[in-house]
Amino acid sequence: MYKSIYAHYTERIQQTKADLSAIKKKIYSLGTIRLLVFFGTIAAAYLFRELGTTTIFITIVTGLILFLIFLVQYNKAQKKKQYLETSIQCDKNEIKGLDYDFSAFDGAPERIDSGHFYSLDLDIFGNQSLFQSINRTCTNYGKKVLINWFEKPLNQSSEIEKRQEAIKELSQKADFIHHFQVLGLINPGKDSDYAEIEKFAKSQDYISSRKLWKTLNIIVPSIWILCILLVSISILPSGILVACYLITLAISESKTKKVNQLQEMTGKKVNILLSYSRLIQTVENEEFRSQKLRELQSGLTNASSKFKELAQLASELEQRANLVIHLLLNPLFLWDIKKSIQLEEWKEKQGENLLQWIKILGEFDAYNSLGKFKFNHPDYIFPSFTDNYFEMKGENLGHPLMNRNKCVHNPIQIEKYPFFLIITGANMAGKSTYLRTVGVNFVLACIGAPVCAQHLILYPAKLITSLRTSDSLNDNESYFFAELKRLKLIIDELHAGEKLFIILDEILKGTNSIDKQKGSLALIQQFVRLQSCGIIATHDLLLGNLENEFPNNVRNYRFEADIKNDELTFSYTLREGIAQNMNASFLMKKMGITVDN
Confidence at residue 490, expressed as pLDDT on a 0 to 100 scale: 93
Res 471: pLDDT: 42
Tally the residues of the chain. Answer: 597
Name the phi and psi angles at 206, rounded to 5. -95, -25
Distance in angstroms (rounded) separating the CA atoms of residues 304 and 278 = 7
| CB 181 within 8 Å of CB 136 | yes
Residue 4, burial from CB neighbour count under 10 angstroms (0-12, 13-18, 19+): exposed
| CA-based nearest residue to 379, from 100, 2, 102 | 2
128-168 pLDDT per residue, tens: 999 999 999 999 999 999 999 999 999 999 999 999 999 99
More reliable by pLDDT, 64 or 562: 64
pLDDT digit string, tens, across residues 495-532: 999 999 999 998 876 555 677 778 888 888 899 899 99
Evaluate if residue 477 carries a pLDDT over 60: no
pLDDT over threshold 80, residue 583? no
Q: Is the pLDDT of residue 591 over 60?
A: no
Q: What is the CATH number of domain 384-590?
A: 3.40.50.300
What is the band of 240 on the pLDDT scale with cuts at 50, 70, 90?
A: confident
User: Where does 390-475 have alpha helices with state H?
Assistant: 431-446
d(Cα 220, Cα 247) in Å, to the nearest integer? 10
CA distances to 60, 401, 419, 554 from 572, rounded to whole Å, are 80, 16, 23, 22
- Rounded CA-CA distance 119/138 in Å is 23
The secondary structure of 530-588 as a DSSP string is TT-EEEEEES-GGGGGHHHHSTTTEEEEEE-EEEETTEEEE----EES------HHHHH
Per the model's pLDDT, the better-predicted residue between 322 and 121 turns out to be 121
Residue 56 CB contacts under 8 Å (≥ 6 apart), including other chains: 45, 48, 49
Instruction: Say if CB 104 and CB 97 are below 8 A apart.
Output: yes
Given this model, what pLDDT does residue 175 score?
96
Q: Supply the mean pLDDT for the chain.
A: 88
Across residues 307-323, what is the average pLDDT? 87
pLDDT (0 to 100) of residue 474: 44
Q: Answer with the residue of higher pLDDT: 471 or 468.
A: 468
Please confirm whether the linkage preceding 221 is cis (ω < 30° from 0): no
Domain boundaries, the chain: 2-99, 184-376, 384-590
Q: What is the pLDDT of residue 590?
A: 54
pLDDT-based confidence at residue 476 (cuts at 50, 70, 90): very low
Continuous H helices in 299-457:
303-318, 323-333, 335-376, 431-446
More confident residue, 327 or 126: 126
Per-residue H/E/C for 205-234: CCCCCHHHHHHHHHHHHHHHHHHHHHHHCC
CA distance 573 to 7: 33
Q: Residue 385, CB half-sphere, CA atoms under 13 Å: how many?
A: 23
8 A C-beta contact, residue 428 and residue 355: no
Residue 109 has pLDDT above 80, yes or no: yes
The predicted-structure confidence for 271-305, as pLDDT tens digits, reads as follows: 999 999 999 999 999 999 999 999 999 999 999 99
Better pLDDT: 63 or 462: 462
Radius of gyration of the chain from its Cα atoms, rounded to whole angstroms: 34
User: How many Cβ atoms sit within 10 Å of the Cβ of residue 553?
Assistant: 20
For residue 393, pLDDT beyond 70: yes
Tell me how far apart the 2 most distant CA atoms of the chain are, in Å: 121
> Strand, coil or helix: what is 321?
helix
From residue 67, how far is each of 6, 56, 201, 455 by CA, in Å? 44, 16, 40, 64
Cis peptide upstream of residue 559 (ω within 30 degrees of 0): no
The dihedral formed by the CA atoms of 190, 99, 410 and 574, expressed in degrees to the nearest 10: -110
Q: How many CA atoms lie within 13 A of 277 on its CB side?
A: 14
For residue 255, give the DSSP letter: G
Identify the weakest region by mean pLDDT among 23-37, 230-244, 488-502: 230-244
- Give the amino acid at 189: G
Report how far residue 74's alpha carbon sits from residue 161's, in angstroms, rounded to the nearest whole number. 48
Mean pLDDT of 45-68: 83
The secondary element (H helix, E strand) that includes residue 413 is strand 410-414
Percent of the chain's residues with pLDDT above 70? 94
Res. 358: pLDDT tops 70: yes
Q: What is the pLDDT of residues 522-532, one digit of tens each?
A: 888 899 899 99
pLDDT per residue as tens digits for the range 401-454: 999 999 999 999 999 999 999 999 877 888 999 999 999 999 999 999 999 999
CB 34, CB 70: distance < 8 Å: yes
Identify the burial level of 447 via C-beta atoms within 10 angstroms of its C-beta, where 0-12 means exposed, 13-18 middle and 19 or more buried: buried
Whether pLDDT at 325 is above 80: no
At residue 232 the predicted structure's pLDDT band, cuts being 50, 70 and 90, is confident
DSSP label at 508? T
Q: Looking at the DSSP assignment, which residues form a beta bridge with residue 410?
A: 397
Residue 323, burial from CB neighbour count under 10 angstroms (0-12, 13-18, 19+): exposed
Band (pLDDT 50/70/90 cuts) for residue 244 is confident
